[in-house]
Amino acid sequence: MEGIPLALMETMAAGVPAVATIQSGIPELITNGLSGLLVKERDVASLAAAIEKLITSPDLYAAIAKEGRAGVERDFNIRILNGRLEQLFATEIKA
Q: Which domains does the chain have, with CATH numbers?
A: 6-94 (3.40.50.2000)
Asked whether 18 and 39 are in contact (CB, 8 A), the reply is no
Q: Are 11 and 64 in contact (CB under 8 A)?
A: no
Tell me the C-alpha distance between 89 and 91, whole Å.
5
Cα atoms in the Cβ-side hemisphere of radius 13 Å centred on 84: 8
* pLDDT tens column, 6-45: 999 999 999 999 999 999 999 999 999 999 999 999 999 9
Under 8 Å between Cβ of 60 and 53: yes
pTM of the model: 0.85
What is the SS3 assignment for 47? Answer: helix
What is the per-residue pLDDT for 39? 98
